[in-house]
Chain A
């Protein structure tokens, strides 16, 4: 009977996947994405995850986990498996699986979908589960500690540098996504701004009025957020109030920078923690809501399976299908950042090794499902509308007429009336050049929600979706700046002790300023870049994140070679080889490509030429800054790739060692 069930499931999954993969020049229903992905996840979890757990990792339910061995009620706390799963998923699921697939939809729906499914099943979930297993076996050690112990000091330092660089680039690019979503949108800006006093109120409520009553405070907070979305519309209608929230990208970027600094310096109870409670529950609620809505309305996918932009001429970001689809979609397929969570809090809570596949592998599959829903939300839009929203003025022209003309010439139909009507329906002045992925994702989500729960509320749903994206992007921004501050304090404390004191105001201000300066710089450059900034920042983030994943897989491969056997090490060595190929090729292209939309050096040369021919002083100033940043990006990518290959060499050395390690760890 069981075999019959799995055979039927395999046939249904194969059928659904064939419909997705083989349909050309016709619309297909989004429900096939849900069916195909769920079938693939179930089969992968039942067979591949179980095989890895039994044969490669040799999970032993009789082994005591760190939470049982060191139960101190503080760091090591035995926790129910579903609660650990909830904590783990809330920690790994950020904005990445929503933004990446939305941007990658410029290649069509098919490449991104295949990578999300295959990458998660064979790479991301394997990484998360294996790192979690080895961290549990090594008493809850972090990725950096595991890398240092198993591969040497250099690997340990490499993972620390990788983490810090990702953090800086991640915060900058997420800041840019929020800025682009709020640019000249009083409704979106007022709603996002309102989340700050709401979070502070919840912070005081939880500290002074009803300490620790998180659920009731969150319920009040969510209600206030919904009111903020509603009254944002009223502000937008008021001529005197809307000017207060109508700003260009640069002003908003400085606002985000100042906010980030304050959030890092203020006590956690005041802003960061309450915002996190709100974002966690809004995130979980909205994702469930989106899945139900897609199942109810079963929307049609309008994006072609594959677009002409696989050749690298895409307007959203430059670069061909290989390797850039694999760099653009990191979270949702494989993300190195997850290895930090899998070797952070999770291994200290888990009570039995038999739960590792469910939490490590299952958690990643769920995140991958979120990415599938994001690609569905982006691809239900008419392609012409999708490109009109996401294309920067530098690619399609600065006027609406030019944009329409360019997009029509690409073969995607869209009219000025259509764009104006859509902007009016969602309560915006214009939807042209709203780069970064968030606005187009919000239009897609709002369309789904409106069809399922009320067409006349499209504007409300759009701004709800913007608030939903902004609220947890800002949580990542707050948390990232704060952790970056701690990392910098630890490093600087080695040279000047007072700077290493986490509770010193002097040290907090100095280190927070340094971290905010780092990501603020990239955010500023992203905002002034006429190509929208995302073209530069997102691939940089993708390369850094995949590099960290490759380091995590190096650690897992090394441990499998040492403590299991070389054959089983293939489960991590195969995705590792793939990551090495894509990160190295992507890095090479980002540095040396002759196409100025891809290669940093070619772009810098082009800018130098423009500077020589330019007569405007302001332009020259901006151009010089962008050129300097392009050279800086070359240095960053070169260092990342160099570090990665040094770590890989450590693993290769292990392959040829005759030394015998004990099999029991």
Chain B
């Protein structure tokens, strides 16, 4: 049961993009990286400059 909840929680975090910052840090260990706030705002601007919600 605990495993299922953990999976659902992981799914929700992935779906909401909450895990993206951690992934970004992991991929950019060596260079200077954005703060979580900068990263969040950049992601939003990128997401909403194209059609990503339908009728």
Contact = CB atoms under 8 A, between A and B. Distances in A.
B49 A87 contact: no
A274 B50 CA distance: 17
Nearest to A330: B55
B40 A206 contact: yes
A338 B54 contact: yes
A540 to B, nearest CB: 13
A580 interface: no
B24, B35, B51: residue with the most chain A Cβ atoms closer than 10 Å = B51
A212 B40 contact: yes
Contacts of B36: 211-212
Given A73-B27, A269-B41, A483 B51 contact: yes
A518 B47 CA distance: 24
B10 to A, nearest CB: 9
A91 B52 contact: yes
A127 to B, nearest CB: 13
Nearest to A212: B40
Interface in B19-55: 20-21, 23-24, 27, 35-37, 39-41, 44-55
Interface stretch (A213-221, A297-305, A375-383, A633-641): A213-221
Contact of B49 (A91, A212, A214, A486): A486
Chain B interface helix/strand/loop/mixed: helix
Contacts of A541: 55
A215 B53 contact: no
Interface residues of A, number: 55
Contacts of B55: 94-96, 166, 170, 174, 330-331, 335, 337, 476, 541, 545
Nearest to A74: B46
A502 interface: yes
A131 interface: no
B14 A80 contact: yes
A344 B18 contact: no
Contacts of B48: 268, 272-273, 479, 482
Chain A interface helix/strand/loop/mixed: helix
Contacts of B50: 344-345, 483, 486
B44 A268 contact: yes
A96 B47 CA distance: 22
Contacts of A344: 50-52
Given A476-B55, A479-B48, A90 B40 contact: no
A545 B11 CA distance: 32
Nearest to A206: B40
Contacts of A479: 48, 51-53
Interface of B: 11-18, 20-21, 23-24, 27, 35-37, 39-41, 44-55
Interface of A: 73-75, 79-80, 82-83, 86-87, 90-96, 163, 166, 170, 174, 206-208, 211-215, 218, 268-269, 272-273, 276-277, 280, 330-331, 335, 337-338, 340-341, 344-345, 475-476, 479-480, 482-483, 486, 502, 541, 545
6 contacts: A86-B11, A90-B15, A215-B13, A268-B48, A269-B41, A483-B50
